[in-house]
């Protein structure tokens, strides 16, 4: 899998949607179109009329990310009473081609892949994985020739170049998704078309509506180890199809940039070994961003996100049929991030702080992962330097602290660690 970051530019602002992983590609197809296309459409229409605008441009972005953590327990906390630790190296690469084959049509093509090495060193939970990630390719076409409305179509595909099945101790390399970039390392072939429309009410206010549907292909992952023979078969997983409806409203005027987005996702039944097993609960997302430019070289950005999910539906073997689970096994997650960016010539520096609250314990049946309720606080700084008008280098570092709530099996747990990144981009 690959998590990606797709920054777009609107006027004098550089706005980036939250990172999206291929494990959630069914939801990301619509959200990517709603955010990236919606916020760029106003400036795209203006650029289409410029006779000296470049017909095509391409860019490459390479990052090297390193996450390291240690805590009073490993992951999952019930797997070992010993103190835990782990690390992950993740190197995503993004290639993008953008152009206007017609004066009134814009085309964006993107490919994202990478490499990941993940290791947990907790006694009794030691495991290592080194693999390529899944590859995500996408294309978006926007028609700019209709006054007052800008329809677009998008297609996103997940190509299974990663590793979904982790046999034996390798499965222990799957770590807490609230700590590392990638908690899983592959899935099947997914195909997700999206249709939508941008409605520019004014030059400063844009509404984007989109609807997406993703067909998710079957793939193999590891099954449970037989305690008598110690053999471990694979299991056949046919994940449910996913429909996503999304809305985004963007406003930019003077020193202010405001954006509000929401989405609703419904997933059909997942089959495990050709038997109906579960359906993930309906998921809801609301996010907002407010940015204010104090001076041409100083701006503050505040981002807040809320995600929640209804009860999953699971197989009742006595009926047998898929019914709502007796107890909610999903959680609501609240995230906030405050950043202040300062520019000095070719350099920019941005200290930041973030906070996350997961309100109660959750369980993901797709990965057999238990995610504990927790609070997470992080502080850090990022910097970027423009070598010239085509090449930029970047780096960041963050230190985080996590407190997990106690359960019947484990006491309150503490985790701390570092996330560091170096990378660069080139544009032509």
Q: How confident is the model at residue 335 (pLDDT cuts 50, 70, 90)?
A: very high
Of 4-8, 73-77, 176-180, the least confident? 4-8
Contact (Cβ atoms closer than 8 angstroms) between residue 262 and residue 283: no
Residue 402 scores a pLDDT above 50:
yes
425 Cα distance to chain centroid = 20
Q: What is the dihedral of CA 193, 197, 203, 206, to 10 degrees?
A: -80
Q: Is pLDDT at 92 greater than 60 in this prediction?
A: yes
pLDDT average, residue stretch 335-348: 96
| Tens of pLDDT, residues 186-208 | 999 999 999 999 999 998 999 99
3-state SS class at 304: strand
Our CA dihedral for 407, 412, 413, 419, rounded to 10 degrees, sits at 100
pLDDT of residue 416: 96
237-242: average pLDDT: 96
DSSP string, 412-426: -EEEEEEEEEEEEEE
Three-class DSSP category at 265 = strand
| Residue 10 reports pLDDT greater than 50 | no
Mean pLDDT value of segment 234-245: 95
Selected residue with higher pLDDT from 364 and 346: 346
pLDDT for 320: 82
The DSSP result for 192-214, as a single string, is: EEEEEEEEESSSSEEEEEEEEEE
Candidates 62, 15, 75; CA nearest to 42 is 15
The listed range with the strongest mean pLDDT (10-19, 35-44, 419-428) is 419-428
Comparing 364 with 215, which gets the higher pLDDT?
215
Domain boundaries, the chain: 8-427
Q: How confident is the model at residue 407 (pLDDT cuts 50, 70, 90)?
A: low
With 0.85 as the threshold, say if the pTM is over it.
Answer: no
Quick count: other Cβ atoms within 10 Å of Cβ 327? 6
**Pairwise CA distance, residues 294 & 352, whole Å:** 17
Q: Taking 60 as the threshold, does the pLDDT of residue 50 lie above it?
A: no
Q: How far apart are CA 17 and CA 39, in angstroms?
A: 10
Residues 69 and 179 sit within 8 Å (Cβ to Cβ): yes
Q: Which residues contact 402 (CB under 8 A, 6 or more apart)?
A: 71, 178, 179, 374, 375, 376, 377, 413, 414, 415, 416
The answer to whether residue 141 scores a pLDDT higher than 80 is yes
The pLDDT value given to residue 103: 87
Is pLDDT of 419 > 60?
yes
Count of residues for the chain?
Answer: 428
Which of 125, 123, 116, 110 shows the shortest CA–CA distance to 157? 110
Percent of the chain at pLDDT exceeding 70: 86
d(C-alpha 240, C-alpha 398), whole Å: 36
Is residue 216's pLDDT more than 60? yes
Average pLDDT of 300-305? 98
Q: Is the pLDDT of residue 372 over 80?
A: yes
Average pLDDT, the chain: 86
> Over pLDDT 90: what percentage of the chain?
71
Read off the tokens for 204.
Answer: 């400063």
Give the residue with greater pLDDT, 31 vs 335: 335
More confident residue, 282 or 368: 282
pLDDT at 19: 36
Considering the segment(s) 8-427 as one domain, its CATH architecture is Beta Barrel (2.40)
Q: What is the mean pLDDT of residues 280-298?
A: 96
């Amino acid at each position: 899998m690959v998590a990606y970051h797709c920054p777009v530019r609107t006027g004098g602002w550089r706005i980036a949607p939250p990172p999206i992983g291929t494990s959630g590609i069914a939801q990301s197809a619509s959200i990517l179109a709603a955010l990236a296309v919606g916020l760029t459409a106003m400036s795209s229409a203006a650029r289409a009329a410029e006779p000296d605008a470049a017909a095509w441009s391409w860019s490459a972005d390479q990052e090297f990310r390193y996450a390291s953590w240690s805590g009073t327990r490993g992951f999952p906390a019930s797997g070992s009473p010993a103190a835990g630790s782990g690390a992950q190296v993740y190197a995503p690469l993004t290639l993008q081609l953008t152009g206007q084959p017609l004066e009134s049509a814009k085309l964006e093509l993107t490919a994202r892949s990478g490499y990941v090495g993940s290791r947990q060193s907790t006694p009794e939970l030691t495991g290592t994985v080194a693999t390529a990630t899944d590859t995500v390719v996408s294309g978006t076409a926007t028609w700019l020739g209709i006054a007052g409305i800008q329809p677009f179509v998008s297609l996103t595909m997940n190509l299974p170049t990663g590793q979904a099945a982790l046999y034996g101790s390798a499965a222990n390399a799957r770590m807490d998704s609230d700590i590392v970039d990638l908690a899983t390392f592959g899935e099947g072939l997914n195909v997700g078309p999206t249709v939508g429309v941008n409605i520019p009410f004014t030059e400063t206010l844009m509404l984007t509506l989109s609807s997406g549907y993703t067909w998710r292909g079957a793939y193999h992952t590891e099954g449970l180890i037989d305690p008598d023979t110690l053999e471990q078969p694979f299991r056949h997983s046919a994940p449910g199809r996913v429909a996503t409806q999304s809305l985004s409203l963007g406003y930019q005027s003077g020193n202010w940039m405001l954006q509000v987005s929401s989405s609703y996702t419904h997933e059909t039944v997942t089959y495990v070994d050709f038997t109906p097993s579960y359906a993930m609960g309906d998921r809801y997302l609301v996010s907002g961003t407010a940015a204010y430019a104090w001076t041409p070289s100083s701006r503050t950005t505040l981002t807040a996100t809320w995600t929640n999910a209804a009860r999953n539906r699971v197989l009742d073997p006595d009926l047998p049929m898929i019914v709502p689970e007796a107890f909610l096994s999903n959680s609501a997650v609240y995230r906030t991030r405050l950043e202040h960016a300062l520019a000095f010539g070719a350099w920019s520096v941005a200290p930041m702080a973030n906070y996350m609250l997961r309100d109660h314990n959750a369980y993901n049946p797709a990965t057999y992962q238990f995610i504990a309720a927790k609070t997470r606080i992080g502080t850090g700084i990022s910097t970027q330097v423009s070598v010239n008008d085509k090449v930029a280098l970047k780096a960041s570092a963050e230190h985080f602290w996590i407190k997990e709530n106690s359960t019947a099996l484990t006491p309150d747990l503490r985790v701390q660690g570092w996330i560091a990144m170096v990378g660069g981009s080139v544009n032509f």
